[in-house]
Homo-oligomer: A and B are copies of this chain.
C-alpha cells in the first residue's frame, strides 16, 4: 500500500527509521518516568521543534528547582523521530552551541527529560509550556507578490484542546508560541475553560499566561533562552504570578530581570511588533540599496558611517532577502489579529508592506543577474554559496535562498549548492555537497554568495580558490567581500555586490 510510507518517521540526524505506533498509549512510560521523580513538579513542553526541544532542555537544567520534564509532540512522520531520539539519547537538533550537549548530557544523567506523544501526559502536568507552531499561509502570485494570506487557528486550537481535555484544573498553561495578539485571552483561556467545564471541573484555579522567548539558533542557543530578557503577562493576576514564579526558576533573572506587562495582549503584541520592526527595517533598506547602485555609492560604507550614531545603530544592511520562521510571518499574524480578533476594519498596512517587499528581494537579485546575462540564465552553470537563512547556522526555514534557487531552476539554470552547515535541505529534499574544493573543480558561469557564513567572509583561502577558477561572474548578495577582495577578484572575474554601484 502506498500509505505505508507514512508509518515511518526517519531521523535526518542518524538516518534511523522509527515505525509510528498505530495506537496512542504511553501511559506506562509516562507513569514510570514520573515515579522516578517523587515530589518534583512536572513540566510538559508541548512541541519539540527549534524552540520546544531546547526549552525542555533548559527546564530540565533549571537554576533553582528540580523538575521532571516531558516533551510531547505528534506521532507523525516529521515529529515522531524526535520523541524517540530524545528517549534514546540523541538530541534532535544539531547546534553549534556547546551548551546543548552539556545540558543534554546532564539531563541524561539525571534522567529528567522524557518525551512522549500521549496526551495523557497533560493530566500529570503542573505546568504546560506551549511551544508549537502557528503558521501563516501565504498565497503568492507572479513575481513572488504576496497576494493574500490566511491564518488558520484550527491546528493550534486542537493542540490547546488536547491540554484542556486532560489537564488538572489548577494547571498553569504558559503560551510561548508567537500568536496573533489577543490569542491567550480570546482563544486559549476560553478553550481550556470550556474543556474543564465539559469535564465538570472548576475553572477558578486555571492559570493561563503568555511569555515569549527570543530564541536564536546558533552558538548562543541556550543563552538566548536562559540568559536573556523575558517579557510575560497573565490573563489574570494569579496567572501572571504563577508564570513569574516558574520563569524565575528557569531564567537567570538577577542578570536579566523579567518584564511584566499589563495583559497578555501586550506581550503577544510586543513579540510580533519586535519582529515587524526588524522586518520593516530590512524592507526599508531595499529601495536605498538600489538607489546606491544607481548613484555609484557603496551602501555598506554609508550604513557603517550612519551606525556610528547611537540612535542609528540598528539600521540594517541589504542582502538577498529575509528568512526564518519569525520575520517572514509575524507582521501578518499581527495584521490578521487586528482585523479578526479586534474587529478593526483595516490591518497593519505598513507592516504587511514590509513582508511584501522582503518576499520579493530574491527575485530582484535574480532579475539583476538576468540583465547581466543578456536576459536569460538558461543553461548557465551556477554555484550558490550558502542555503541557510542565517550566518553560521544550518537553519533553512523560509530561507530567501529558496526563492532565488527556484527562480534559477525555473529559468533552466544548472545549479550547484554549498553550505558548510546544511547537510540536508529539508524543504527541497536535497543533500548538500560540503566539499567546496570538489565543487570548485567544476566550471561555473556564475558564482553567488547567498549566505554570510564565516567560511565565505575574510577567508583568503576562498579568495585563492576563486582566483584559480576560470573567469566568471561573481555576485555577492550579502556584502561579505571587502574592497580589497573585490579588487583582487576583479583582476580575473566580473564582481558585483548588492547595494554597491560600480565605484
Contact = CB atoms under 8 A, between A and B. Distances in A.
Interface in A258-317: 259, 261-263, 265-267, 269-270, 273-274, 276-278, 280-281, 283-284, 286-288, 291-292, 294-298, 301-306, 308-309, 311-315
Task: State the majority secondary structure of interface residues on A.
Answer: helix
Given A259-B305, A277-B284, A305-B259, A350 B357 contact: yes
A305 B229 CA distance: 9
Given A262-B298, A280-B284, A342-B294, A274 B312 contact: yes
A342 B295 contact: yes
A292 B269 contact: yes
Nearest to A266: B297
A70 to B, nearest CB: 30
Contacts of A353: 350, 353
A304 to B, nearest CB: 8
A277 B291 contact: no
A301 B266 contact: yes
Contacts of A302: 261, 266, 269-270, 273
A229 B313 CA distance: 13
Interface string A93-131: 000000000000000000000000000000000000000
A234 interface: no
A313 B312 contact: no
A287 B214 contact: no
Nearest to A231: B305
Contact of A262 (B297, B306, B342): B297
Contacts of A478: none
A274 B351 contact: no
B298 A348 contact: no
Given A305-B259, A503-B262, A349 B229 contact: no
A181 interface: yes
Given A338-B294, A344-B294, A315 B269 contact: no
A237 B263 CA distance: 59
A181 B299 CA distance: 13
Contacts of A278: 311-312
Copies of this chain: 2
Nearest to A348: B287
Interface string A351-377: 101000100000000000000000000
B262 A305 contact: no
A310 to B, nearest CB: 8
Contacts of A273: 288, 302-303, 306, 315
A82 to B, nearest CB: 29
A349 B338 CA distance: 25
Nearest to A306: B274
A394 interface: no
Which of A306, A353, A503 lies at the interface centre, i.e. has the most chain B CB atoms within 10 A of its CB?
A306
Given A263-B297, A265-B295, A269-B297, 15 more contacts: A261-B298, A262-B503, A263-B503, A265-B297, A269-B291, A269-B292, A270-B305, A274-B309, A276-B288, A281-B281, A287-B348, A287-B350, A288-B351, A291-B334, A350-B353
15 contacts: A181-B295, A214-B309, A261-B301, A266-B297, A267-B305, A273-B288, A273-B315, A274-B312, A276-B284, A277-B281, A278-B311, A287-B350, A291-B348, A311-B314, A350-B357
Interface of A: 181-182, 214, 229, 231, 259, 261-263, 265-267, 269-270, 273-274, 276-278, 280-281, 283-284, 286-288, 291-292, 294-298, 301-306, 308-309, 311-315, 334, 338, 342, 344, 348-351, 353, 357, 503
Q: Which 10 A-B pairs have the closest CB atoms?
A: A266-B297, A229-B308, A259-B305, A265-B295, A231-B305, A270-B302, A314-B314, A294-B342, A287-B348, A265-B297
